[in-house]
Amino acid sequence: MDSPREILKRHGLRAKHSWGQNFLGDPDALQAIADALVLREGEPVVELGPGLGHLTRFLAATGAQVTAVERDRDMVAVLEKEAIPGVRVVPGNAATVDFAQVAGAPDIALVGNLPYHLTSPILFQVLAQRAHISRAVFTLQKEVVVRLAAEPGNRDYGLLTVLLGLHFDVEQVLTLEAWRFHPPPKVDSAVLRLTRLKKPRAPLVDEARFTRLVKAGFAQRRKTLINSLKSDKGLATPEVMLAALKTAGIDPGRRAETLAPEEFAAIERALGPVTAMAPPPPDAPEEAVGHDAEE
């Protein structure tokens, strides 16, 4: 198999810095990523951002039905010219695509070497579409994988750690040094595996309220839990929120990073039936977990 440098040269292309393109061509690493997904013959798998098709070849070698979703027109042209057997190439944006629909299957596996600046949007899509995703294996910036796999009480623990942890087993399976990529990024990467649970770790009254509750908890990490949660007045009055914490058995003086997903779920349930909520405050954005490693 030709190296990324050789394939780019053959097609008269260069890696696009603005797209966060860092191509992995190391055979041992690619085989390890494909192995981590544990694909069965004939199983539908969607690869996000296949780039030059290096991982795509290893996925196809398992006998799985590979749908490669690529937004870079130059890379789409490369994949079509390379014509990897058993692979269907679909132009599209990994941050907005319907994974099951593009694969034409109700339940799929998902894999990709994700551009760092698209990490958060894609992970929120995984959460939104989790009913159709049995498992996912992503290559991400190492510090992001450490955060997503962190345990409660760790300073790396955050919003997406909780949201993913409610619905998936989350684990780091591999570290990939920067030199394995072309061009090499300025940081190391790691491989994250998400395995969907048969049911959430804890029941909820309302998924949207749970997400908003967790966002509020982490919006001001240095504050106590009750003070962070009170910052989103649309969730509940301070009195109702304090009562919910008491019902859930959660000390209001704790900080969000110490709560397991099950504890956040207990608070959400304790808030009772859902009523119309005011829009969240503008200072409670979705957590960004990745950035372009070349910046």
Residue set of the binding site: 22, 24, 49, 70, 113
Rounded CA separation 74/265 (Å): 45
Residues 6 or more apart whose Cβ sits within 8 Å of residue 190:
139, 140, 141, 142, 144, 145, 146, 172, 174, 175, 176
Annotated binding site for S-adenosyl-L-methionine: 22, 24, 49, 70, 113
DSSP assignment, residue 157? -
DSSP assignment, residue 36? H
Rounded CA separation 104/159 (Å): 31
Q: What pairing do the DSSP bridges indicate for beta strands 87-91 and 23-24?
A: unpaired
Say if residues 15 and 185 touch (Cβ distance below 8 Å): no
DSSP-based three-state secondary structure for 284 = coil
DSSP-based three-state secondary structure for 162 = helix
Rounded CA separation 276/279 (Å): 10
Rounded CA separation 181/30 (Å): 11
Distance set, CA 19 to CA 56, 72, 292 (Å): 19, 9, 8
